[in-house]
Structure 1
Amino acid sequence: MFSKTKRFSIALTACVLVPSLAFAHPGDGQTIGFFHGFLHPVAGLDHVLAMVLVGTLAWQLGGRALFAVPTAFLSLMALGGALGVTKISVPFVETGIALSVIVLGAAVATRIRAPIAVAMGVVGLFAVFHGHAHGLEMPDQAGSAAYAVGFLVATATLHGLGMLTGGLIAKATDIHGNIVTRAGGSIAALAGFGLLTGII
């Protein structure tokens, strides 16, 4: 049975290795598409917050959630991206993205102990909105496959950052770690309200 620290190390290593694999066979056109796809989600505050929160939530749940929750997000984000690329409409995309930051921030702040299946379902639903937005905004000249790999790798990296954040906070000290986690989740949820209302 792996300890929580060992599971975290394995998850973080996987997140670090995924970008390395993507760089292994770049190719000229694919490099342009990959980098464009990689930079696109990293440039959006809403996506960055949601992805880091998914990773932190996975860390808090522990066990199989370390892999299952981020994998559910990545899989359904790819589906949402395909819907966006093919211009299939998904209602309330911007609202869903803002709500993802609010709900995930609140989940992290309250250290909710949801069943893994429920956590996967919630993050998966939000992932469709994020994926659709990125697929819809994909430039026509970008190589679609390389672009998709780029934003999936960027998302996985942000998940890894969220896991690392959760791990570092937990290592610091349980008492202060809880305070920092609650404060961070609350600030993220408030940012989500700002995105929802258009203030941010």
Structure 2
Amino acid sequence: MKKILALVALLAAATAASAHTGHGTHSLMEGLAHPLGADHLLAMLAVGVWSAAASGRARWAGPGVFLGGLLAGALLGAAGLALPLTERAIALSVAVFGAMLLAGDRLPRQAGLALVAAAATLHGLAHGAELPAGGLFATYAAGFIATTAVLHAAGLGLGEVLRRLHAAAWRLAGASLGLAGLLLLARA
């Protein structure tokens, strides 16, 4: 557990919250690599961890909602929609996901899914807005969607481990994630 928390702290400190500048957007490989920036990485893992608290098929609702919102937001961004402070909102989404873990069962599932959808749309807007004119949206999008799905699955696995540990491990993960989100927000 200490290693996981140290990794979260290092990722938050090592990568700027703005993962949407200075990288290519023309290929599958660039799309695959993009979600590995701290803000995206932590958010994708968090959705999986949060989803692990559900039972059965409901575990896949969070990742499914996120992937749908991500794609919808990316299409809107590629079409020219831009919102002010998107980068800050993305960083804030990491802190919100930490708060969702801390809230546990006190947060109604539908409210949690609505927060997941909103965050996913913001992440997608940033992905879509960064495409240059004539960029290969489908190839790049396939990459960032594939990596996002893998990160959600990893988060589900991590969430399952945390669920089996003492409840304090779950709360510590939520607090660490919230703190990482606040650090990213301060850097945005």
TM-score, length-scaled by structure 2: 0.79
Query: Which residue of structure 2 lines up, in the alignment, with residue 38 of structure 1?
Result: 32
Identity %: 37
Shift of 1:48: 0.5
Range with bigger deviation, 59-68 or 128-137? 59-68
Query: Which residue of structure 2 lines up, in the alignment, with residue 84 of structure 1?
Result: 77
Query: Which residue of structure 2 lines up, in the alignment, with residue 166 of structure 1?
Result: 159
Query: Which residue of structure 1 lines up, in the alignment, with residue 87 of structure 2?
Result: 94
Question: What one-letter code is carried by the residue in structure 2 that aligns with 1:51?
Answer: M
Query: Which residue of structure 1 lines up, in the alignment, with residue 131 of structure 2?
Result: 138
Mapped contact 1:69–1:116 kept (Cα < 8 A): no
1:130-178 Cα offsets, whole Å, 9 max, x none, are 111111223557521111111011111111011000112233x3x2xx2
Number of residue-to-residue matches in the alignment: 163
Question: What one-letter code is carried by the residue in structure 2 that aligns with 1:145?
Answer: A
- Residues 1:45 and 1:70: Cα distance change in structure 2 (over 3 Å): same
Mapped contact 1:65–1:116 kept (Cα < 8 A): no
Shift of 1:113: 4.3
**Distance in 2, Cα, partners of 1:69 & 1:81:** 18
In structure 1, list runs of 5 or more residues that go unmatched: 1-31
Shift of 1:183: 1.1
In structure 2, list runs of 5 or more residues that go unmatched: 1-25
- Secondary structure, in 3 states, of the residue corresponding to 1:90? coil
Query: Which residue of structure 2 lines up, in the alignment, with residue 10 of structure 1?
Result: none
- Residues 1:197 and 1:150: Cα distance change in structure 2 (over 3 Å): same
Mapped contact 2:53–2:163 kept (Cα < 8 A): no
- Residues 1:133 and 1:41: Cα distance change in structure 2 (over 3 Å): same
Aligned residues: CA RMSD: 1.9
- Residues 1:46 and 1:112: Cα distance change in structure 2 (over 3 Å): farther
Query: Which residue of structure 2 lines up, in the alignment, with residue 58 of structure 1?
Result: 51
Is the radius of gyration larger for structure 1 or structure 2? 1
Shift of 1:125: 0.5
Mapped contact 1:41–1:134 kept (Cα < 8 A): no
